[in-house]
Amino acid sequence: MATVYHAKNTRSMRVLWLLEELGVKAEIRSLPFPPSKLQPDYLSINPTGTVPTLVDGPVRLTESMAICEYLAAKHNSPMLVAPGDPARTEFVQWLWYGEATLMTPLSRIATVGRLERKGADIDAVIEDARNNAGVRLTALERRLEGRDFLVAGRLTLADISAGYPLHLVGLFGIDHLLGPRSAAYRERLRSRPAYQRAIAVP
């Protein structure tokens, strides 16, 4: 059985959610956050100190979407849009959008918001990141016109990728940045039993 190193409200929720969608069991090891400070022995598992990490026999992966691709391929899931599929190119675009485009300003809000230092400069950085997230979210709003899911007319890893930054938007109290289609899309993802089981893991 594979092992997943997890911390609540982090990108490891993508992996837990996918496992639930696949109906695949794994050993979940929950860590305090940030593990590099609160559980430094985790650095021997993942030298970057980030979560998630997946260990599956000789396989060790430390990128949430690489873990999702690995698991979806291993279990022959249609959530992975394979090379040769007409939807593949769009799938790759939206797979990266969730991590590379949406997570950039949201990670800034998370890391700067954790600093003990407060003040006008910090507020300005957070405000700029919020504005930037709002601009980046408009691409999602446009994409969802006439669509329930990002690609291929079904739930794919692209939705798992985008689902985490949308979770953070809620946690950060910036729901006003979501257009109506994006808000409805997030609800569609959140209402899935697999999502709810994953999000409940401590």
Ligand X SMILES: N[C@@H](CCC(=O)N[C@@H](CS)C(=O)NCC(=O)O)C(=O)O
* Contact footprint for ligand X (CB under 6 A): 10-11, 34, 36, 49-52, 63-65, 99
Q: Which long-range contacts (CB under 8 A, 24 or more apart) does 188-192 make?
A: 188/148, 189/159, 189/163, 192/21, 192/155
Closest CB to ligand X among residues 38, 73 = 38
In angstroms, give the least distance from the CB of 180 to ligand X. 27
Closest CB to ligand X among residues 50, 156 = 50
In angstroms, give the least distance from the CB of 85 to ligand X. 24
Closest CB to ligand X among residues 60, 142 = 60
DSSP E strand stretches across the chain? 3-6, 27-30, 53-56, 59-61
- C-beta of residue 122 within 8 angstroms of C-beta of residue 112: yes
34: left (phi over 0), alpha (psi -120 to 50) or beta: beta
Closest CB to ligand X among residues 11, 130 = 11
In angstroms, give the least distance from the CB of 99 to ligand X. 5
Instruction: From residue 38, give the alpha-carbon distance in Å to each of 7, 41, 42, 55.
Output: 12, 9, 9, 21
In angstroms, give the least distance from the CB of 65 to ligand X. 6
